[in-house]
Every structure is written in structure tokens, then in C-alpha cells.
A and B are shown apart, each in its own frame.
Chain A
């Protein structure tokens, strides 16, 4: 597609529910990143994929967070047993090659609210 697409744009869930957030990166982009952004703050790194390989998941806050990119294109971030502190905007970004030496292209994010 023309840009990075994320769905849903807004998600409200009750504490304890599982949620799945989808990212459709720019076609052909090798690198895919997930970030968490709290209100008034910069993005915080969660995880990084190079094609289908998850090379870094050091930023995932707990084992309730899981991300996958099975065919090297679309990625899903899953949060199990959601907690109120999971409320944030989740941003996905992609870039053409590997490495942090290229601009990243961002989707508009999914705003997750846990009640």
C-alpha cells in the first residue's frame, strides 16, 4: 500500500481481555518496528523484525506481550490479560532495509484503552 496501515485505530477492552493489534507495512519493507507511546512522551521501542525474524524483543514490557510477522509482511502485536497500564498508543513503523540508518515510516497507531 501507499503507507503503513494499522488497525484498529481505537480499541477499548476490559481489564483481563486479550487484544490483537495489526500492522500492514509498506510493501517490500524489510524492517518492522513496534513502539509504545504514552501521552506527551516519545515512542518507546518494543520489538524489531527483519523480514519474518524477530531480532529484538527486549522492549516488550512483560511476557503478556507477543509479536509476530510470520510471512515477513503483516505483523500482529498481541497483549494477553490486559492491564490498565497497557493503555497507550501503539505505533508500527517500517523501513526499506535493515538497521537504524534509514528513515522510518509510521502508521497512525492504535489507541488502546483498558477499562
Chain B
């Protein structure tokens, strides 16, 4: 079963614009992780944010977490064609090792 829901399901923007993707989840978490998947490839870890953190940055990526709303957002600034991929959020609870995944946002960056 999938816990996370990404929004939007698909996003198409011009190169250079910012892209924002949202993730909502249902149960309490220990951390939330964002991954990228290029077509036909495996997933690549981007950022892990713990439940006691509100914001985290990595290069052009900014992730926020609002545990009261059970939601997270991923912002990619100054998008590039190479950012074209599907982006997934995954949540980890306190008591187990499973990551529960959303269905992903498909991001297309138009040159």
C-alpha cells in the first residue's frame, strides 16, 4: 500500500523556472525522503528530512516538512533540462524499516 500522495501528478515548466512538488502522508513519521527516478533507471536519493526538522537545503533543492499538516514540499530552483524525471517521496516510521512510497510527480523541463 502507498501512504504518500504527490501533487501534482505531472508538471511541465520552462527551463530556468522553479518547480514545486508536494507530498502528503497519513501516519506519524521518523523521517521523510525524496528520491528522483530517470526513465528506465533506479531511484536516486536526494534529501532526508527528520520529523524534528522543518527545512533542509541541498544545492538547488529545498525541502520543507510540516508534521502538523502531514505534508512536505520539494522545490527545485532554476530548473534544468536534466531535472526531467519522476520525483517520489517516501516516509519511514519509528518502529520499522519500511519506506512507504507515493505515486510520484512526473516533472518535464522544456528547453
Residues of chain A touching chain B, judged by Cβ–Cβ distance below 8 Å, are 4, 6, 31, 33, 40-45, 48, 50, 55-56, 91, 93, 98-109, 111
- B98 contacts partner chain A, Cβ-Cβ < 8 Å: yes
Most-contacted residue by chain A among B31, B41, B48, B97 (CB, 10 A): B97
- Judging by beta carbons under 8 Å apart, are A106 and B43 in contact? yes
Q: Which residues of A contact B90 (CB under 8 A)?
A: 42
State how many angstroms separate the Cβ of B17 from the closest Cβ of chain A: 24
Q: Which residues of A contact B45 (CB under 8 A)?
A: 103-105
What is the number of residues of chain B that contact chain A, defined by CB distance less than 8 Å? Answer: 26
Tell me the bound Cα distance from A46 to B2 in angstroms. Answer: 13
Q: Which residues of B contact A6 (CB under 8 A)?
A: 42
Tell me the bound Cα distance from A6 to B99 in angstroms. Answer: 20
Residues of chain B touching chain A, judged by Cβ–Cβ distance below 8 Å, are 2, 4, 30-31, 33, 35, 40-45, 48, 88, 90, 92-93, 96-104
State how many angstroms separate the Cβ of B44 from the closest Cβ of chain A: 7
State how many angstroms separate the Cβ of A11 from the closest Cβ of chain B: 15
- Judging by beta carbons under 8 Å apart, are B40 and A108 in contact? yes
- Judging by beta carbons under 8 Å apart, are B97 and A56 in contact? yes
- Judging by beta carbons under 8 Å apart, are A41 and B97 in contact? no
- Judging by beta carbons under 8 Å apart, are A100 and B99 in contact? yes
- Judging by beta carbons under 8 Å apart, are B99 and A41 in contact? no
State how many angstroms separate the Cβ of A88 from the closest Cβ of chain B: 14
B33's contact among A4, A50, A103, A105, by CB below 8 Å, is which? Answer: A103
- Judging by beta carbons under 8 Å apart, are A48 and B98 in contact? yes
- Judging by beta carbons under 8 Å apart, are B30 and A41 in contact? no
- Judging by beta carbons under 8 Å apart, are B4 and A48 in contact? no
Known: A50-B97, A100-B99, A108-B42. 12 other contacts (CB 8 A): A40-B103, A48-B97, A56-B97, A56-B98, A98-B97, A100-B31, A100-B96, A102-B48, A103-B45, A104-B99, A105-B45, A106-B44
Tell me the bound Cα distance from A106 to B88 in angstroms. Answer: 13
